[in-house]
Amino acid sequence: MSETTITVSNGQDFYRIPLSDLGEASADGFYVPAVQELTIVSDGSELFEIPLDDLEEAQEDGFRDVLEKERGLAFIAERLAAVGNADDGHEDSADPEVLPVDEAPVITEPESDAVEDVAVAPAAQLVPVTEESVEIEAEEPEDDGSAISRFLLPGGALGGARTWSVMAINAGLHGLAILILALIVLPLPDTEIFMEITSAIEPPEQIEQEFEEVEIEQPDSLEDDPVEAQVVNPIEEVTEDPLEIDINEMEINIPDVVAETEDNAGPPTSNNTGEMSGRSKAGRAALVAKRGGNAASEAAVQLGLQWLANHQYPDGGWSYDHAKGQCNGQCSQAGSLSVDCRNAATGMALLALMGAGHTPYDGKYQENIRAGVKFLMKNSAAVPAGLDMRSKVAGNTGMYTQAIAATALCEAVAMAQHNSVLARSEKELRKTERARQQFLRSVTPAAAGGIQFIVQAQHQASGGWGYNPRTAGDTSILGWQIMALKAAVHAKIPFPVNAVAGANRFLTGVQHESGHFGYRGPEKKLSTTAIGVIARMLSGMPREDPFLQMCVAHLSAAGPNKANMYYNYYATQVMLHYGGEEWTKWNEVMRDRLVNTQVKEGHAAGSWNLPPGEAHGARGGRLYLTCLSTMTLEVYYRHLPLYGEPEEAEEKAKKTAMVDTSADAAE
């Protein structure tokens, strides 16, 4: 014996409950979508609640009406509520589908050996309706007595040959019950096929592509170093299943202890809706004004993005030698990395485009982003260690390229995930939801493979990353790997916790007692200090840590560097996260310098000329400098502050100092 069920919602999720529980569910804030002139549609991967008036348009966009056969049940729910109230002598309710639990009529299925036993949800139990359950129902034939055939079909016809057979066999014994069922509804038995709504991701076919072996040198190191030995067979084995970890949930105790604790979950984030929420149109406008940007800085960002889009190659990728595309030499200062490191150039351009809120299926540059992502995946190779995204590289750029490309894929995934959530309530985004889900199913496994390769490439003894997988490394290379791991967190891609612990072990080994971070050992070097401290901050270092405060003081005293945008890019992030007067001072100089030095006319408009003595400009060229400069001007919304809003962080620091002073005075 099973009772008829109906779909209810709490505004976010959908559940099937017995009709007798409708009153209790309504009292708890649940409602019947079909009664409210709403319906539920599916794109094949997720469920969405929309007004019934929008159904036709949604179906044109490829969505399927899930409640098509249940709207008859909604009408019956209203009638049952009315009948229940009338039988008990109650006044008509303003909400006819709500009945006390013990007063709602129970419609039971005729007893017969011909009807299979099914699991029945206990009273007052919410059984989630999921896309999986919908798909299972859809696959069952509608004329064999299956679960879907027991819905009341449009027009009042009862479905299911088996159901009619059961009714015929039991006609003599249950004539009255059959009459009631014919007038009202043939019950839908509860089953155990419904599961919590999840977004299942199926990995695509393995990418199999051969790339030539090349010798590796280092173009982007912050000082000249001897080339590491080439690894002939890099990373052959695969580690155990990764553990899911957010690197913001680690407490870093300098000098040597790195541990996860329940008491200290790392620096709090200032947002409640995800890292990508600041990149929306409204979010950017609010955060630019709040954190020190202005109309001129935003205009510079838009010019920079347009220049990047104009210099994308026809194959979807970018090159540090930007002049070989449609530019055709109209812009000077092309980088010397021509056919090499294209995955790195493509990753940097994608990060700049996405930093301003453009996504694979939303915004002005969505086609550029999709083409760039496709280029990265086409020019990567599946290996036992994950997805090798280094492709053809020059010098010692391999692991730089791996991290930049993996970061780009992770951000593309994170932004698509964010818009997928928004699509539940925003009609415009729903139109591209099917394509967005297909994108996620294809790209998420690739992004995860790129992160897995990074984890496998870590040097186990030191905890750093070198020019080649599993070789001793430096702070510069480590900075990009930490950025990639943080992007993986935003994309909900798991990785082993020991990767972050190892990175901080390496940083401890290169940190000077003054707070500075060195290149491969303790030394007072500003460029690597900016990289080391942002890695510490992303790993959970508290704002009050004395080492962090010393580092910020060093960077603040030096200010932005006119000839080292690589340093400026990292240091700007440090100062934003730290906030307070230090950020205000830094931002005014950095922002205005970038706005004033951007090319405003001609084919090069939107890009930046390489200043004399630019540390890494010769090889990366105009594209390299334009990417870093644009991302630096996007800092107001591209990175949400780790310690809350800058002014809030400063106020908190002042209060902490006052408390400490009072305590010292009391002693």
Regarding whether 386 and 274 lie in a shared domain, the answer is yes
Whether pLDDT at 591 is above 90: yes
Residue 201 lies in a domain: no
Residues 309 and 455 in one domain: yes
Q: In this structure, what is the dihedral angle of CA atoms 550, 556, 561, 565, given to the nearest 10 degrees?
A: 70
pLDDT for residue 289 is more than 50? yes
pLDDT greater than 80 at residue 259: no
408: in domain: yes
pLDDT of res. 274: 64
* Residue 561 pLDDT greater than 60, yes or no: yes
Query: Which among 129, 164, 183 is the end of a domain?
Result: 183
Name which of 170-179, 269-278, 334-343, 529-538 the model is least confident about.
Answer: 170-179
Q: Given this model, what pLDDT does residue 20 score?
A: 75
Residue 406 lies in a domain: yes
Q: Which of 258-272, 323-337, 365-379, 461-475 has the lowest mean pLDDT?
A: 258-272
pLDDT of residue 73: 66
Residues 508 and 631 occupy one common structural domain: yes
Whether residues 472 and 614 fall in one domain: yes
Looking at 134, 163, 183, the residue that finishes a domain is: 183
Domain membership of residue 572 (yes or no) is yes
Kindly report, residue by residue over 159-172, the tens digit of the pLDDT. 344 444 444 444 45
Segments forming the whole domain that contains residue 140: 5-183
Q: Do the Cβ atoms of 446 and 201 come closer than 8 Å?
A: no
> Higher-confidence residue: 548 or 148?
548
Beta strands in 292-391 (DSSP E): 381-383, 386-388
- Same domain (yes/no): 134, 262: no
- Of residues 395 and 333, the one with the higher pLDDT is 333
Residue 214 in domain: no
> Can you tell me whether residue 152 is helix, strand or coil?
strand
Residue 469 counted as domain residue:
yes
Q: What is the pLDDT of residue 260?
A: 33
pLDDT of 630 higher than 50: yes
Task: Tell me what pLDDT residue 233 has.
Answer: 31
Is residue 426 assigned to a domain? yes
Do 137 and 262 fall within a single domain? no
**What is the dihedral angle through the alpha carbons of 614, 509, 635, 274, rounded to the nearest 10 degrees?**
150
The answer, yes or no, to whether residue 483 has pLDDT greater than 80, is: yes
- Half-sphere exposure (Cβ direction) of 490: Cα atoms closer than 13 Å: 30
Look at residue 372 in the predicted model and tell me its pLDDT: 98
- Among 40-49, 259-268, 299-308, which is the least confidently predicted range? 259-268
Flag whether pLDDT at 535 surpasses 90: yes
Q: Which residue in the block uniquely carries the two structure tokens 């992160």? A: 451
- Among 18-27, 78-87, 228-237, 510-519, the range scoring the smallest mean pLDDT is 228-237
Tell me if 194 is assigned to some domain. no
Considering the domain architecture, whether residues 176 and 257 belong to the same structural domain is answered as: no
Q: How far are the Cα atoms of 19, 42, 65 from residue 8, in angstroms, in the given order?
A: 10, 16, 16
Average confidence (pLDDT) over 220-233: 34
What integer best gives the mean pLDDT of the chain?
A: 74
User: To the nearest 10°, the Cα dihedral for 240, 241, 243, 244?
Assistant: 150
Q: Are 369 and 354 in contact (CB under 8 A)?
A: yes
| Residues 152 and 295 placed together within one structural domain of the fold | no
> Measured between alpha carbons, how far is residue 331 from residues 4, 245, 557, 628 in Å?
71, 44, 35, 18
Token pair recorded at residue 323: 């002049």
Domain count for the chain: 2
259, 176: one domain: no
- Split at pLDDT 50, 70, 90, the class of 25 is confident
The average pLDDT across 68-76 equals 67
Query: Of 129, 154, 183, at which residue does a domain stop?
Result: 183
State whether the Cα torsion 138-144-150-155 is positive or negative: positive
- Looking at the fold, whether 350 and 446 belong to one and the same domain comes out as yes
Let me know whether 568 and 650 are in one domain: yes
* Residue 77 pLDDT: 60
- The answer, yes or no, to whether residue 381 has pLDDT greater than 90, is yes
- Kindly report which listed range (135-139, 212-216, 475-479, 656-660) carries the lowest average pLDDT score: 212-216
> Model confidence at 368, in pLDDT bands (50, 70, 90)?
very high
- Predicted confidence band at 92 (pLDDT cuts at 50, 70, 90)? very low
pLDDT at 84: 42
Name which of 605, 530, 532 is nearest 565 in CA terms.
Answer: 530
| Percent of the chain whose predicted confidence (pLDDT) is above 70 | 65
- Exposed, middle or buried by CB within 10 Å (0-12, 13-18, 19+), for 89? exposed
Cα within 13 Å of Cα(205), Cβ side: 3
pLDDT at 94 over 50: no
- Which among 28-32, 78-82, 421-425, 627-631 has the top mean pLDDT? 627-631
Residue 249 has pLDDT above 60, yes or no: no
Q: State whether 166 and 295 are in the same domain.
A: no
pLDDT tens per residue, range 119-129: 333 333 556 66
Stated pTM of the model: 0.63
